[in-house]
Amino acid sequence: MENTIYLASNCDNDYILFYASLLKSIEIHHKTSEKIVSFLIGDNISEENKVKVEKSLMLNKIDIRWMTCADFMPDGYSLPNDRSTFPISIYMNIYLPRGLAPEIKKILYLDVDMIVLDDISKLYNLDLGDNILAAALDRIKIFSHWAGILNYEELGFDPNLPYFNTGVMLIDAENWRANQVTQAIIDAIENNKKYSFFADQYGLNVVLAKLPWMILPQKWNHVSFNTIEKTQPSIIHYVAEKPIHEHYKALPEHAVTFFKYLAKTKFKDAQKISSFQWKLKRLKIIISKMFRRIFNNFDV
């Protein structure tokens, strides 16, 4: 247990190729002796794609644990129901310390739309001190009109309060559980649905505004729209459009990096996703959430 790195991610069947590429990049750059255990939480992932992911990796270095959302959800908890275009599975990160075994004391959550270019042990072994989590600052500010925490004044928050991106989070699971962070996030989202455009990120920032957390160096969550400056990124985060999308608009060199690692997986022949396919997927998510609100007595 002590010589193990615990990772967690979530996705659906459409994004499983990103998970394969992410793990391949982690495998290639991991040079220390720790075993890696990666939990993937998601629904409707085909057995064929699970096999393709596993055949893309050296399983003596990375042990994958496949979990559905239903299997993972702790008893007595339910999923928030927001109005974002993100799939419901995105909320699995807020349940990590509750849904995983209590002996797991530290968890590194990673969005699947990432490529790791450094040894993940450097990030995992950072000392969190008394902090509940460590995360990098987002380019969004708390007062951003299209995201952020739009009701920050109502909540009594300073407009200059640090606002973090939830794509990379190193979590002290014991500290999280002790502070009942999961329930606090659910309550924050449910009580502020009309402001929760960035789903889990809204809830996490609202709750952590009153709890200790640590700012990670930006190299551990370098978004794909940013140029590579003096410090090389340790993780590239493909926010918004992905390199596999035909309408990808971020830096071309970051797309080259993504396809370099995708080519080392069993998904190397994946077809590009059209703008229509991308918009259709988002529409399906919106409709499914509408029905979920109706059948669960939520206000539409």
Supply the pLDDT for residue 298: 43
Residue 205 burial (10 A CB sphere; 0-12, 13-18, 19+): buried
H/E segment holding residue 135: strand 133-135
The answer, yes or no, to whether residue 88 has pLDDT greater than 90, is no
Q: What is the rounded CA–CA span in Å between residue 237 and residue 243?
A: 11
pLDDT at residue 38 tops 90: yes
Q: What are the residue ranges spanned by the domains of the chain? A: 4-295
pLDDT grade for 39, boundaries at 50, 70 and 90: very high
Euclidean distance between CA atoms 230 and 233, whole angstroms? 9
Tokens of 230: 């003096």
Give the model's pLDDT for residue 300. Answer: 36
Angle, to 10 degrees, between the axis of helix 16-29 and the axis of helix 47-55?
20
User: What is the residue-averaged pLDDT of the chain?
Assistant: 87
Reported as a pLDDT band with limits 50, 70 and 90, residue 97 is confident
Give CB contacts under 8 A, 24+ apart, made by 142-148. 142/205, 146/197, 147/197, 147/198, 148/198
Q: Which residue has the higher pLDDT, 230 or 51?
A: 51
Please, are residues 275 and 245 in contact by the beta-carbon 8 Å criterion? yes
Rounded to 5 degrees, φ, ψ at 54 are: -65, -35
Confidence of residue 299 (pLDDT cuts 50, 70, 90): very low
- pLDDT per residue as tens digits for the range 178-237: 999 999 998 998 888 788 777 789 999 999 999 999 999 999 999 988 776 666 899 999
CA pair distance 114, 259, nearest whole angstrom = 12
> Of 8-12, 80-84, 272-276, which has the strongest mean pLDDT?
8-12
Rounded-to-integer distance, Cα 216 and Cα 135, Å:
5
Share of the chain above pLDDT 90, in %: 56
**pLDDT-derived band at 254, boundaries 50, 70, 90:** very high
Q: Which of 99-113, 153-167, 192-206, 277-291 shows the lowest per-residue confidence on average (mean pLDDT)?
A: 277-291
Say what the pLDDT of residue 268 is. Answer: 95
Torsion of CA 218, 220, 224, 226, to 10 degrees: 20
Report yes or no: 106 and 173 within 8 Å, Cβ to Cβ: yes
- Tell whether the model's pLDDT for residue 59 goes beyond 80: yes
What's the confidence (pLDDT) of residue 115? 98
Superfamily holding 4-295: Spore Coat Polysaccharide Biosynthesis Protein SpsA; Chain A (3.90.550.10)
Name the nearest CA neighbour of 44 among 91, 109, 88, 110: 88
